[in-house]
Structures are given as C-alpha cells and as structure tokens.
C-alpha cells in the first residue's frame, strides 16, 4: 500500500462527526454504510456509533456540537425522547413527535426531523406499490412517520392496526383538523385492532394486500391474522438482520411475499445525509455501499 493510499481516509483537525444514537446499536449498519458513502463523496466527515443510555442522552445532546458533531441519526429507544432536548424542524416532526435525524448547530438546540416515513414511501414507489392501499402494523414512532408522510402525499394508508384504537383515532383526527397550509385533506386511514382485521362488518374498506410491520422483532399477530389476509399479500418487515425479521419469515411460511427493512433503511439514510450535506444524495449510493443487488431489496417468497 502506498503512503497516499494509507493516509487517504485518516481524519485531521478539520474532520467533523456524524453518528447514530441508540441503545443497543450493535446491529446497526448505519456506520458502515455512511462511512462508505462519505468516502465516495470525498467528505471530511466520520460516521460513528454513539451508544448512550437514557440517563446520559440529554447531556450528550447538549454537548454534541462542541464535540464536533454535525448530525446524528436516532434509533430505538430514543426517537421520541430526543424531542425533549431538540427543536422540531417541520410540521411532521411536531405532529408525529418522533425524529430519527438531528442536526447540531453551536449555541442552539439540535434541529430534529424524521426520514423514516419518506424512506418507506420511497421504497414502495421504487417497487411499483406507490398507489397500492396498504396497512400499517403498530403505531410507534416509525409508523406515525409513515402515516403522516403518505397522508401528506395524498395517499394515506388504508388501515392502521394497533393495540388501542381510540387514542390513535383521536391523534389522527387532530392532524386532519389542525389549521395551516399543511392541513391533511385526504380521507384518514381506518383504525383497527389486530383481532378485528378481516372480521365481517368491522371495517368499511377492503383488507389491504400490502402491509408494513413496524413491530419490534419477535412481536407476532394471532394465528387467525394470516388466514384473513388476501392471497399472496406482501409484508414489509421494518426490521433487518439475522434473527430479527420474524414477521417477514412468518409471512413467507404462510405463503405470502415479504421483504425486510434494508431497502427502506437505505432510502432513509440517503435522506438524512442529504439534510446534513444540504444537497441531494441518491439512495443508489447506499445500495452500492451495502453491496446488495436491487432484487435483494424487493419482495420475495
């Protein structure tokens, strides 16, 4: 190896930091993917894992800009709690009360926004599913981002499945009637419990053929859920990594199609980096960094 090649990616006094906050973050591909893309774009930035406890989160956010951080992604379990110490950057973040992307500016609170929902919508569009009515399993941080992003685009999901329907209905009703330029005018999604899906007379719409599961690994619906799905439905399991895609694995066993969360992750990552660099970054760069063929990111049996 030549001296130039050996020193090519070493940091210097002008290097600034990006990272990912979470607990745990051992499974995250973000440091590897972002580092490869930053080298490709010739950016003097390092992307590092930042394991931090709930007790230390506020302290880190207060010091991040002084420590040289330009921005951080946020993963479980901090997508909601970071907003206690950050400023929502847009109406979506304020409504959904979640953020997965922070931007640090010295002397100011971190600026917070979400790319989860737009990343999932981008994946659906890439695979010809942008106009397909879909259902959402769960209503945590990622699910709220998805529902808002798709609704804002004029095509809300057909159905949200949650453990407690009443508070979800109230929240969605508030999004719709809130005044302002960003008022959501499309018909809101229906809300159901998982036990109601496919039951005669309980839902006015057709059971969707596309489902996005935002449930954590290991969370499974009742056995009857699978029998109520339409034939050859598609389940997008937002988890990825060995042993974590339990919903995708179950869907395939039941004869349906499935995909894991890697494709949406690449979309979300590109949107986060676009925010920090203040210029568009193509998701294709992250696919190349992941070293996976396009077909690997799509639905399969």
Residues 161 and 256 in one domain: yes
Q: 221 and 272 share a domain?
A: no
pTM of the entire structure?
A: 0.91
The answer to whether residues 238 and 212 touch, using CB atoms and an 8 Å cutoff, is: yes
Q: Quick check: is 23 in a domain? A: yes
Q: Do 169 and 63 have their domain in common?
A: no
Residue 19 domain-assigned (yes or no): yes
139 and 100 together in one domain: no
Looking at the structure, do residues 174 and 235 belong to the same domain, yes or no? Answer: yes
166 shares a domain with 68: no
Claim to verify: residue 219 and residue 173 sit in the same structural domain: yes
Separation CA 219–CA 213 (nearest Å): 10
Confirm whether 29 is domain-assigned.
yes
What are the tens digits of pLDDT across the range 48-61? 999 999 999 999 99
- The CATH number covering residue 42 comes to 3.40.50.10860
Average pLDDT of the segment spanning 79-89: 96
Question: Is residue 300 in some structural domain?
Answer: no
Short-list 120, 119, 117, CA closest to 149: 117
The parent domain of residue 110 ranges over 3-114+265-295
127 and 247 both lie in a single domain:
yes
In a domain, 283, yes or no: yes
Q: What is the CATH number of the domain that holds 141?
A: 3.40.50.720
pLDDT value at residue 202: 54
Q: What is the mean pLDDT of residues 140-148?
A: 96
* Domains contained in the chain, number: 2
How large a percentage of the chain has pLDDT more than 90? 79
Alpha-carbon torsion 207, 79, 38, 243, what sign?
negative
């Amino acid at each position: 190896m030549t001296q130039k090649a050996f020193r090519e990616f070493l940091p210097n006094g002008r290097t600034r930091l990006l990272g990912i906050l979470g607990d745990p973050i051992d499974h995250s591909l973000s440091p590897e993917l972002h580092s490869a893309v930053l080298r490709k774009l010739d950016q003097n930035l390092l992307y590092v894992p930042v394991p931090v406890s709930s007790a230390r989160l506020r302290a880190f956010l207060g010091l991040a800009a002084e420590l040289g951080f330009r921005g951080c992604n946020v993963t479980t379990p901090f997508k909601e709690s970071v907003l206690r110490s950050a400023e929502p950057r847009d109406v979506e973040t304020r409504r959904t009360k979640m953020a997965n992307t922070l931007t640090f500016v010295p002397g100011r609170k971190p600026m917070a926004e979400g790319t989860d929902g737009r990343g999932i919508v981008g994946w659906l569009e890439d695979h010809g599913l942008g106009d397909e009515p879909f259902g959402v399993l769960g209503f945590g941080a990622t699910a709220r981002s998805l529902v808002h992003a798709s609704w804002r685009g004029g095509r809300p999901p057909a159905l949200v499945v949650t453990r407690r329907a009443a508070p979800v209905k109230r929240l969605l009703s508030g999004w719709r009637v809130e005044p302002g330029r960003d008022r959501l005018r499309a018909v809101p999604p229906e809300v159901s419990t998982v036990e109601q899906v496919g039951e005669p007379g309980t839902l006015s719409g057709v059971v969707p053929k596309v489902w996005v599961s935002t449930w954590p690994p290991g969370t499974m619906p009742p056995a009857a859920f699978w029998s109520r799905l339409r034939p050859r439905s598609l389940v997008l399991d937002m988890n990825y990594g060995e042993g974590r895609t339990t919903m995708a694995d179950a869907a395939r066993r039941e004869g349906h199609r499935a995909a894991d969360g890697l494709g949406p992750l690449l979309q979300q990552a590109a949107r986060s980096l676009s925010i920090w660099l203040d210029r568009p970054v193509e998701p294709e760069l992250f696919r190349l960094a992941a070293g996976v063929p396009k077909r690997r990111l799509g639905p399969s049996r």
